[in-house]
Amino acid sequence: DTEVTQTPKHLVMGMTNKKSLKCEQHMGHRAMYWYKQKAKKPPELMFVYSYEKLSINESVPSRFSPECPNSSLLNLHLHALQPEDSALYLCASSRGLAGGESRNEQFFGPGTRLTVL
Amino acid sequence: AQKVTQAQTEISVVEKEDVTLDCVYETRDTTYYLFWYKQPPSGELVFLIRRNSFDEQNEISGRYSWNFQKSTSSFNFTITASQVVDSAVYFCALRAGFQKLVFGTGTRLLVSP
């Protein structure tokens, strides 16, 4: 099973709402990632979790709050977003072997298309 | 610093034509990994291939083939006898050490019947 699932597929929220994006993988991967992708642009890394610990935060505003409850799940909590945060949010996972992580391909989910009104 | 350049923004071909997507990379690391991903309109990035810096053998998988040349820092991707289902955005990416995965800007391929 080489699948990463994400829910919801689409999300529309107001600037005062609180919502969460969810990601799940059952490949035994120990590294999980959140990316943001604007239209006609490549994905931009937001966060990396390695062995359930946050290892990279790419200077993401605090209105985005990641959480890794266990090795299979990754959440992204959203609060007080701005219209410019509208984008496709992609989750990915990889094996996460220490020292050799760069060789491991990342497997991506289908994404959540977020619209902030 | 790592950098990936995909100079072709968009390519249009007719079905059954061969098409090559160019990828040029920059890195100072001697050990690095190159990747190609396909992103169809549905949005999911689909992993296609990984190549490490010590393996310059070309690879063929069905209608897909990849040409890795360290001398020109290029990792080009060819689709033979293109099909409508090949229409997508294709990203070349590079990763070295503990650096993040660096994507090129992508090439949009349109295959018409």
Average pLDDT over residues A70-81: 96
- Residue A97's CB is within 10 A of a number of other CB atoms, namely 12
Contact check, Cβ <8 Å, B50/A106: no
Q: Each residue of B34-73: pLDDT tens digit? A: 999 999 998 999 999 999 999 888 888 999 999 999 999 9
**Is B95–A58 a contact, with Cβ atoms under 8 angstroms apart?**
no
Would you give the distance in Å from CA A77 to the centre of its chain? 10
Helix (H, G, I), strand (E, B) or coil at B84: helix
Structure tokens at B109: 């391929």
Residues B7-39 pLDDT 10s: 999 999 999 999 999 999 999 999 999 999 999
Give the β-pairing of B59-61 and B64-69: antiparallel
Percentage of the residues of chain B whose pLDDT score is greater than 70: 100
- B98 touching A, CB under 8 A? yes
DSSP structure string for B14-50: ETT--EEE--EEE-S-SS-EEEEEEE-TT---EEEEE
Which residues lie closer than 8 Å to A17 by C-beta, 6 or more apart? A78, A79, A81
Chain A interface, Cβ < 8 Å to B:
40-43, 45, 48, 56, 58, 88, 90, 92, 101-103, 105-111, 113
pLDDT higher than 70, residue B86 = yes
Which residue is closest to B49 within chain A, CA to CA? Answer: A105
Residue of A32, A57, A105 best to disrupt the B interface, most CBs of B under 10 A:
A105
CB hemisphere CA count around A11 (13 angstroms): 28
Q: Is B100 on the interface with A (CB under 8 A)?
A: yes
Nearest CA in chain B to A48: B100
Between A and B, how many residue pairs show a Cβ–Cβ distance under 8 A?
52
Distances from the Cα of A3 to the Cα of A42, A68, A75, A89, A93, angstroms:
21, 18, 17, 16, 10
